[in-house]
């Protein structure tokens, strides 16, 4: 009887060990930059996930998965809703001046939006 109980406990322990996965949640961040299209009310967005930058400029603009064309958004709110639908949470938004342009000259096309999302550690490369 003791051998049977020991065997049962051994198989149970092995089963739990094999199926156990790392379920630790880790916050990941990204930055969305919305840029207006020339002569249009639509926007393109670039998303920086913190990848290592390439020596030659890498295009971070969102593209349609099926057509490969740049994804257009009707407004910045449309882009923010898209990110929310992907599970990202907005944590900060602010204008950023570049190339000698003052913040008051920026308008809506140079706002930066920071997001965070929880991932299982096993999902992160």
What is the tens place of the pLDDT at every residue in 8-56? 666 666 665 555 566 789 999 999 988 777 777 787 788 888 876 655 5
What is the tens place of the pLDDT at every residue in 78-92? 999 999 999 999 999
With beta carbons less than 8 A apart as the criterion, state whether 113 and 34 touch. yes
Give the angle subtended at the CA of 9 by the CAs of 15 and 21, to the nearest 5°: 25
Where in the chain are the domains?
22-123
Sheet holding 43-48, edge to edge: 43-48, 25-36, 111-120, 89-95
* Model-wide pTM > 0.85: no
Higher pLDDT, 103 or 60: 60
pLDDT of residue 6: 62
The rounded radius of gyration (Å) of the Cα atoms in the chain is: 23
Higher pLDDT, 117 or 107: 117
pLDDT of residue 83: 92
Closest CA to 117 of 14, 39, 22, 26: 26
């Amino acid at each position: 009887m003791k051998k049977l109980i020991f065997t049962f406990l051994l198989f149970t322990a092995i089963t739990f060990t094999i199926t156990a996965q790392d379920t630790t949640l880790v916050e990941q961040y990204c930055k969305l930059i919305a840029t207006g299209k020339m002569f249009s009310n639509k926007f393109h967005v670039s998303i920086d996930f913190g990848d290592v930058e390439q020596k030659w400029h890498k295009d971070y603009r969102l593209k349609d998965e099926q057509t490969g064309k740049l994804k257009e958004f009707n407004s910045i709110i449309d882009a923010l809703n898209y990110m929310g639908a992907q599970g990202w949470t907005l944590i900060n938004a602010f204008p950023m001046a570049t190339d000698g342009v003052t913040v008051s000259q920026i308008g809506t096309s140079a706002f930066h939006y920071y997001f965070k999302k929880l991932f299982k550690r096993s999902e992160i490369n």
